[in-house]
Amino acid sequence: MSTIRFAEKNDLERQKEIWRLCFGDSGQDMEIYYTQRYKAQQTLLLLHRDEIAAMTTLLPVSLVTADGHKAKAVMVFAVATDPQYRGQGFASELMGFCDQYLNENDIGFSVLVPAEKSLFGFYERYAYHEMFFMRRIRLDSKEIAELPGSGTEDFKLYPITAEEYNRRRNRQLEGRLHIAYSDEDLAYQKALSNMSGADLYGVEHGTVQGCAVVERIGDRDIVIKELLLPAAQLNGGLQIIAQQLKADVYRLRLPAFEGEPLGGSVETFGMLRVHNEKEREIRAEDLGYLGIAFD
């Protein structure tokens, strides 16, 4: 018989053990989460015979529609089952509990980012639908240097605080269906970026204030997890990043509605579930943007 409850202080070490078994993160990755972002009251645990067998976290976020309506939502984050307990339906039990809890607390939506493509079908069984998309592009340093545009002479790139990043992000995404985060969430992402040797950056060109989330993978590989700039400044923004953050390969994630001249492929990134039928209809063709998944 299994039971589900929110985490308590004495559960922490067992949670970390499951995290290591399921996600294979380095100790530093995990400790950043548990020191920077973890909250027991947002963490659901499933106990089987009094042992924690599975867990997930409900991170409060907002779903912002194109007309500016902001609805309460959660990001279902780090769904994990101890490998010895897989195949017993524990993840399904957690998802069912989440639905009940969100309904009871008048939270209209939940979003999630499946860890791999095969899991999209799993979550569809629980009424999740593809809703958030990204353009994924791989460029080398030479390709970025040769992009058409006015060059980097009038561009600026510099680290900014989580609060300033969030302000710029929300402004750049006005008029678009997207997920909005708290300053605390962005501080967690900043810590992840800093650990890799990069940061959250402000990207400026005249009066335009954009932003970028950058992480390093080794010495010569960079992931730009988010780059938000108007189309006219996109190439110059990429060039100033490549100029100041040297690498051989740049793996770029853009909103699906941006960057078409750069090529790449548009892919489903996240899924949405409606828990309150009174909420307005959200359509996949609106090309929703999620962007930051703390992956």
The model's pTM: 0.93
Return the ∠ at Cα 55 (arms to 190 and 225), rounded to 5°.
Answer: 25
Please state, in angstroms and rounded to a whole number, the distance separating the CA atoms of residues 161 and 245.
18
pLDDT in tens, 211-231: 999 999 988 999 999 999 999
Fold of 2-133+268-286: Aminopeptidase (3.40.630)
**In whole numbers, what is the pLDDT of the chain averaged over residues?**
93
What number of other Cβ atoms are within 10 A of residue 201's Cβ?
A: 26
**What is the sign of the dihedral through the CA atoms of 219, 220, 225 and 228?**
positive
Confidence of residue 209 (pLDDT cuts 50, 70, 90): very high
pLDDT in tens, 236-282: 999 999 999 999 999 999 999 999 999 999 999 999 999 976 666 77
pLDDT in tens, 39-83: 999 999 999 999 999 999 999 999 999 999 999 999 999 999 999
pLDDT in tens, 263-274: 999 999 999 999
Same CATH topology for 2-133+268-286 and 134-266?
yes
CATH superfamily of 134-266: Gcn5-related N-acetyltransferase (GNAT) (3.40.630.30)
pLDDT in tens, 11-26: 999 999 999 999 886 6
Please state, in angstroms and rounded to a whole number, the distance separating the CA atoms of residues 227 and 245.
14
Please state, in angstroms and rounded to a whole number, the distance separating the CA atoms of residues 61 and 23.
23
Q: Where are the domains of the chain?
A: 2-133+268-286, 134-266
- Specify burial of residue 223 (Cβ count, 10 A radius: 0-12, 13-18, 19+): buried
